[in-house]
């Protein structure tokens, strides 16, 4: 297989295309699109979002130390793109895209009612990195839409048809391949898979 060498760049794709909602202390809401976001720690639960200083949301999050990561769906694709190319300095993006700001546990930042999962975050550190500042935050609450709960009470995000971003393009998520650990499960005598994980032999 032959590969081309390119200049350094961000090629970790696909990424979640999320809508980040926030507000200032005066009560003005805003929402923006972010793909530079993700998990950085599981215990305690920590996430980040990286935002350019020029973005209208930047000063709001820096002021209140709050934001909400709202997962998106194929049905929210147009709204997700729109709030990423329009500025909250000029328009009310919630109103323009008919998105509903709802109160969660945070003091200022609202959630988006139409999102299947809303992750409320409190900023603990702001890292100035260059083109973007990274807002490192602790997750204080997660709100999941009951419409995507299955009969066993488990959340099934696939039913919401989540949206991802890759190199300037939006995509739906493809077919299911397997769940975590499927590669090391062994089959029982009746043909069913048993969760028996491989262990390394001690020397």
Which tens digits make up the pLDDT trace of 146-184? Answer: 998 888 888 888 888 999 999 999 999 988 888 889 888
Instruction: Please give the pLDDT value at position 188.
Output: 61
Q: Does the pLDDT value for residue 197 go beyond 80? A: no
Structure tokens at 28: 């003005």
pTM above 0.85, yes or no: yes
Sorted by sequence, the CB contacts under 8 Å of residue 187 that are 6+ apart come out as 193, 194
The yes-or-no verdict on residue 190 having pLDDT over 80 is no
Q: Give the Cα separation of 121 and 112 in Å (integer).
A: 14
Which of the four pLDDT bands, split at 50, 70 and 90, describes residue 193? low
User: For residues 171 and 182, what is the distance between their CA atoms, to the nearest angstrom?
Assistant: 25
198 backbone dihedrals φ, ψ, rounded to 5°: -70, 140
Q: Beta partners for 117?
A: 144
């Amino acid at each position: 297989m032959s590969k081309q060498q390119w200049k350094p760049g961000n090629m970790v794709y696909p990424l979640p295309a999320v809508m980040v909602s926030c507000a200032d202390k005066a009560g003005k809401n805003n929402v923006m699109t972010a793909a530079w976001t993700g998990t950085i720690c599981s215990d305690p639960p920590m996430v980040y979002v990286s935002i350019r200083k020029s973005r209208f949301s930047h000063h709001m999050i820096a002021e209140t130390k709050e934001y909400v990561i709202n997962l998106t769906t194929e049905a929210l694709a147009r709204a997700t793109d729109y709030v990423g190319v329009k500025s909250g300095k000029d328009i009310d993006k919630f109103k323009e895209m008919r998105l509903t700001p709802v109160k969660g546990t945070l003091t200022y930042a609202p959630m988006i009612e139409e999102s299947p999962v809303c992750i409320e975050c409190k900023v603990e550190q702001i890292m100035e990195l260059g083109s973007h500042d990274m807002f490192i935050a602790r997750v204080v609450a997660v709100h999941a839409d009951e419409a995507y709960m299955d009969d066993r009470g488990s959340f099934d995000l696939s039913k919401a048809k989540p949206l991802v971003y890759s190199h300037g393009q939006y995509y739906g998520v493809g077919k299911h391949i397997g769940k975590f650990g499927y590669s090391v499960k062994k089959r029982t005598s009746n043909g069913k898979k048993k969760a028996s994980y491989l262990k390394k032999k001690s020397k």
